[in-house]
Structure 1
Amino acid sequence: MNNLFIASTILKILLIPAYRSTDFEVHRNWLAITHSLPISKWYIEKTSIWTLDYPPFFAWFEKFWSMFAQFADPNMLVVDNLEYASWETIVFQRLTVILSELVLYWSLQRYIRYFGNQYVNWLVAASVFLHPGLLIVDHMHFQYNGFLYGILILSIVEAKRGQLLLSGILFAVLLNFKHIYLYMAPAYFVYLLKAYCFTSDQLSSFSIQRFITLGGAVIGVFALSLGPFIHQLPALLSRLFPFTRGLCHAYWAPNFWALYAAADRCLIFVGKRLGWIMNDAALGSMTRGYVGDTQFAVLPDIQASHTMILTLIAQIAVLQLLWRKPTFDNFLSSLTLCGFASFLFGWHVHEKAILIVLIPYSLMAANNKLHLRTFIILSAAGIYSLYPLLFHAAETPIKITFTLLWTLMIVTGLAFTMKTSIKSILHPVEVLYLLGLIVLQLYSSIVHELVFGGLEFLPLLLTSVYCGVGVIYGYLLAMINVCFTC
């Protein structure tokens, strides 16, 4: 891992001048807010449209980095300096991502140490640390997912070691860094309740003392996080859970709702020919992520409550297996599939959230051939779905080359450990699907502009739908595998 760490760090440093999204300004603004304002104003300040909308531990994380930012360029810490991006600011913020990823590196070192087969687990750890999704989203687009997944993997490692109380505490800490991981909370709740609070399979073995210890520890973490903000708790919660946003993000995440929205688009053409009565106000709404923009022209409209119900139903399917047999392997499967369900059926899902599927599933890839098969399909569809985030031609060779090198090293290596080949694992139809991604890339980057010279939404629509098919197919494969192995 040391050589990979050095090589990847050099690559990430070389990417410092690369494309960066509005998320760069988001985090610069959060640095300014937490450094320049008292905590009583952190969650009500709105000079910028990029208001602070992560839980308090992440706010303190920004506060920590701001103490060093003032030595790089104090102007980046001025709240009114919107869109400020001096070279010193760019270098500093990029370096914070690289340095914070040391948490991920440390967690993967512990993963290798405690998970048995050194070579296999080295491959799995390398697949996470060098993941193209993290390179695209964190080190180019700009976020801190590597740091956060480091905490998640530390929690998983402690669960593997049997340190369930510490695992639960680490997950509670993670929730107070980024609340998207709430979707994984049901798996933690069921596993810790059954494996920690019950000392045997008998219901009579329930330990009140352990339940109080676990509950007190989790409540203590939340009290430490939310306590200083108790007087602005309504404002904080409204920032964390903005349900006024539309069902689909501006660029549809490759999930169930992307296919649902695409089906509605297709039905519009049919409806116009057949004279159907349609919702005229919704004819252009599904391709935008505006506030309250959730209407469909033909298909029934979807409310936030509907997505919550579908997500819970999908999660219950695996949680009941975990309750009946609370082993670590079932916990890891349930944890991954709970996050998967949230990505498929959640409300206003960002395309970047595919990492909540890809990173945990990497830890399952070496379990058996069906998991590896699923991992290949999911990785291909999921990573490709992130490509539109880097829409400049200059970044195209980087994202494609890095993905191919990662695939060659990780997927081929995992297949070798199972004494098989990628070709023998995949069904011919699945091979055709993967080849289709190459065709889609050629169309999106070359053919579309030559043929249409406009219709910018079309490559995005095709990418969302095509990748959505692969992601949903991967989910079905994963569910089949988990249900048959539990």
Structure 2
Amino acid sequence: MHAILVLATLVKCLLIPTYHSTDFEVHRNWMAITHSLPFSQWYKNATSEWTLDYPPFFAWFEKALSSMAALMDPDMLRIQRDPLFNETVLFYQRGTVIVSELVLYWGLCRYLKVDRTTANALMVASVFLHPGLWIVDHIHFQYNGLLYGILVHSLVEARKQRYLTCAALFATLLNFKHIYLYIAPAYFVYLLGAYCFIDGTSKFSVARFSATGAVVIAVFALSLAPIIYTGQVPDLVSRLFPFTRGLCHAYWAPNIWALYAGLDRVLIIGAKKLGWAYDVAAVASMTRGYVGDTVFAVLPTVEAFHTLIITVLVQMLVLQVMWRKPTFDNFISSLTLCGFASYMFGWHVHEKAIMIVLVPYSFMAAKSKFHLRVFTILSSAGIVSLFPLLFQIQETPIKVLLTSMWYMTLFPGLCYCLQTKLRELLSLMECLYIMGLLLVGIFVTSGHHLIFGDQYEFLPLMLTSVYCAVGVVYGWVMLMYAHLAQL
């Protein structure tokens, strides 16, 4: 693992000058807010459009980063409406991502000590070298490595049956980024079944339940008490849960709603030819931008409460297995599927959220041929769905090379460990689907421009989203079937 750390760090350093998204300015602005303003103004300041919209622990993390940034260049911490970018900002922020990802490295090393099989060692290394993390963190720019590191540490504690530490770490994670509410039901049921019910019996321990609750409440109190004291609760809630946004992001995350939206587009064509009634004003709504209610021209409009009901029902179904048998393997499977349910059916899901499925499911992929098969399909579709984040042509060789090397190392190695021939891992249709991803990539990169020129600008993103959604939905159905077969 140490050699992998050194090699990965060197490559990440080479990626420093590559493309970066608006998230670069988002996090710089958050550093400026936490450094220059009193705590009482952190969630109120709106000088820039990139307001602070993560929970308090992440805000304090930005505060710590700003303290070091001030020693390098105080101008980096100016609060201003327009973006600020220079070489100091570039190198400092890229460096903080690389350093913070050591939390993930440490967690993976701890996980490997619990299970030292060759297959698990290969999978652990693959998580640290995951193309999704390279794309989202080290090029596009975010701090997911730090957050998934905390998640892995909590999984290690769960596997070691240190349940209170597991609960404390997950509560900490929730106060770093609230997207992990997706998997909170899995933690609740697992801790309840594995810890609060003594030794798998029906004997419920009030003391253990109280201790778990006290640990979680203590973490949330540490995070939220200053928010309550300074009267920022309404500001925090409105920023963490912006329900004014539409069902789909500007680029549709490849989930069930991408297929729904894609079907609506197809039906529009049919409506025009057959004279059906449709909402003309809705035709452009799906590519309108970041905010606004998403409506459909032909199909019924989906509201936020619809997505909430579907997500909760699917999660409740998933959790039945762990409730009956709260083992660690069922915990990982349920955790993955709870995150998957939110990704599949949630409101305004971002494409980057696929990582909340791929990272925990990685730890299942080394256990059987079936899980490796599903993981192959999900990884293929999930990683390709992240490619549009790096839309500049000069980043194309980088994302393709990183992904190809990861694939050529991981999957043959895991097949060998599981005594499975690589050519027998997938069915013919599954192989053809993955080959289709290559064709989609070629079309998006060059084929669309050659065929259509500047027309149909929406088509590359729509095609990527819908095609990747087919693989993601297929993988979800397979995993759900295997999970629920235990009932």
Structure 1 equivalent of residue 463 of structure 2: 462
For 2:163 and 2:149, locate their aligned partners in 1 and report how far apart those are by CA, in whole Å: 17
The within-5 A match list for 1:20-169 is 20-80=20-80, 82-117=82-117, 119-169=118-168
Structure 1 equivalent of residue 210 of structure 2: 212
The within-5 A match list for 1:186-265 is 186-203=185-202, 205-230=203-228, 231-265=231-265
Give 1:133's aligned amino acid. G
1:151 and 1:170 in contact (8 A); partners too: yes
Tell me the TM-score normalised to structure 1 length.
0.98
| CA positional deviation for 1:289 | 3.5
2:321 and 2:486 in contact (8 A); partners too: no
| CA positional deviation for 1:446 | 1.4
- After superposition, what is the alpha-carbon deviation per residue over 1:119-157, rounded to whole angstroms, capped at 9, x for unaligned? 222111111000000000000000000100000010011
- After superposition, what is the alpha-carbon deviation per residue over 1:380-415, rounded to whole angstroms, capped at 9, x for unaligned? 000000001101111101110110100011111111
Structure 1 equivalent of residue 422 of structure 2: 422
Give the secondary-structure state (helix, strand or coil) at the position aligned to 1:326: coil
| CA positional deviation for 1:73 | 1.5
Give the secondary-structure state (helix, strand or coil) at the position aligned to 2:485: helix
The within-5 A match list for 1:367-386 is 367-386=367-386
1:75 and 1:81 in contact (8 A); partners too: no
Give the secondary-structure state (helix, strand or coil) at the position aligned to 1:363: helix
For 2:398 and 2:282, locate their aligned partners in 1 and report how far apart those are by CA, in whole Å: 38
- After superposition, what is the alpha-carbon deviation per residue over 1:4-24, rounded to whole angstroms, capped at 9, x for unaligned? 100000000010000000000
Give the secondary-structure state (helix, strand or coil) at the position aligned to 1:347: coil
Give the secondary-structure state (helix, strand or coil) at the position aligned to 2:19: coil
For 1:386 and 1:416, locate their aligned partners in 2 and report how far apart those are by CA, in whole Å: 28
Give 1:442's aligned amino acid. I
For 1:338 and 1:288, locate their aligned partners in 2 and report how far apart those are by CA, in whole Å: 30
Give 1:475's aligned amino acid. W
Give 1:224's aligned amino acid. L
For 1:30 and 1:457, locate their aligned partners in 2 and report how far apart those are by CA, in whole Å: 32
Question: Is residue 2:471 matched to residue 1:473?
Answer: no
Give the secondary-structure state (helix, strand or coil) at the position aligned to 1:177: coil
1:33 and 1:79 in contact (8 A); partners too: yes
| CA positional deviation for 1:335 | 0.3
1:245 and 1:289 in contact (8 A); partners too: no
For 1:276 and 1:196, locate their aligned partners in 2 and report how far apart those are by CA, in whole Å: 58
Give 1:402's aligned amino acid. L
1:29 and 1:82 in contact (8 A); partners too: no
Give the secondary-structure state (helix, strand or coil) at the position aligned to 2:161: coil
Cα gap change, 1:56 to 1:167, in 2 (>3 Å): same
For 1:202 and 1:145, locate their aligned partners in 2 and report how far apart those are by CA, in whole Å: 38
Give 2:347's aligned amino acid. W
1:251 and 1:288 in contact (8 A); partners too: no
Query: Which moved further from structure 2: 269-278 or 244-253?
Result: 269-278
Query: Which moved further from structure 2: 276-285 or 252-261?
Result: 276-285
Give 2:244's aligned amino acid. T
Q: How many matched pairs?
A: 484
Query: Which moved further from structure 2: 50-59 or 352-361?
Result: 352-361
Structure 1 equivalent of residue 176 of structure 2: 177
Give the secondary-structure state (helix, strand or coil) at the position aligned to 2:441: helix
For 1:235 and 1:426, locate their aligned partners in 2 and report how far apart those are by CA, in whole Å: 49
| CA positional deviation for 1:485 | 5.0
For 2:375 and 2:424, locate their aligned partners in 1 and report how far apart those are by CA, in whole Å: 15
Question: Is residue 2:397 matched to residue 1:397?
Answer: yes
1:377 and 1:471 in contact (8 A); partners too: yes
| CA positional deviation for 1:81 | 6.2
For 1:288 and 1:466, locate their aligned partners in 2 and report how far apart those are by CA, in whole Å: 21
- Identical-residue share of aligned pairs (%): 60
- After superposition, what is the alpha-carbon deviation per residue over 1:354-400, rounded to whole angstroms, capped at 9, x for unaligned? 11111111111011111000000000000000001101111101110
For 2:177 and 2:164, locate their aligned partners in 1 and report how far apart those are by CA, in whole Å: 20
| CA positional deviation for 1:293 | 2.7
2:48 and 2:81 in contact (8 A); partners too: no
Provide the alpha-carbon RMSD of the alignment.
1.0
For 1:60 and 1:49, locate their aligned partners in 2 and report how far apart those are by CA, in whole Å: 20
Give 1:57's aligned amino acid. F
1:280 and 1:297 in contact (8 A); partners too: yes
For 1:71 and 1:17, locate their aligned partners in 2 and report how far apart those are by CA, in whole Å: 22
For 1:168 and 1:423, locate their aligned partners in 2 and report how far apart those are by CA, in whole Å: 42
For 1:78 and 1:98, locate their aligned partners in 2 and report how far apart those are by CA, in whole Å: 24
- After superposition, what is the alpha-carbon deviation per residue over 1:309-359, rounded to whole angstroms, capped at 9, x for unaligned? 111111112101110111110011000100011101000001111111111
| CA positional deviation for 1:288 | 2.9
For 2:119 and 2:368, locate their aligned partners in 1 and report how far apart those are by CA, in whole Å: 12
For 2:162 and 2:10, locate their aligned partners in 1 and report how far apart those are by CA, in whole Å: 35
Give 1:484's aligned amino acid. A
For structure 2, which runs of at least 5 residues remain unmatched after alignment? none
Query: Which moved further from structure 2: 108-117 or 216-225?
Result: 108-117
2:255 and 2:344 in contact (8 A); partners too: yes
For 2:195 and 2:388, locate their aligned partners in 1 and report how far apart those are by CA, in whole Å: 43
2:47 and 2:81 in contact (8 A); partners too: no
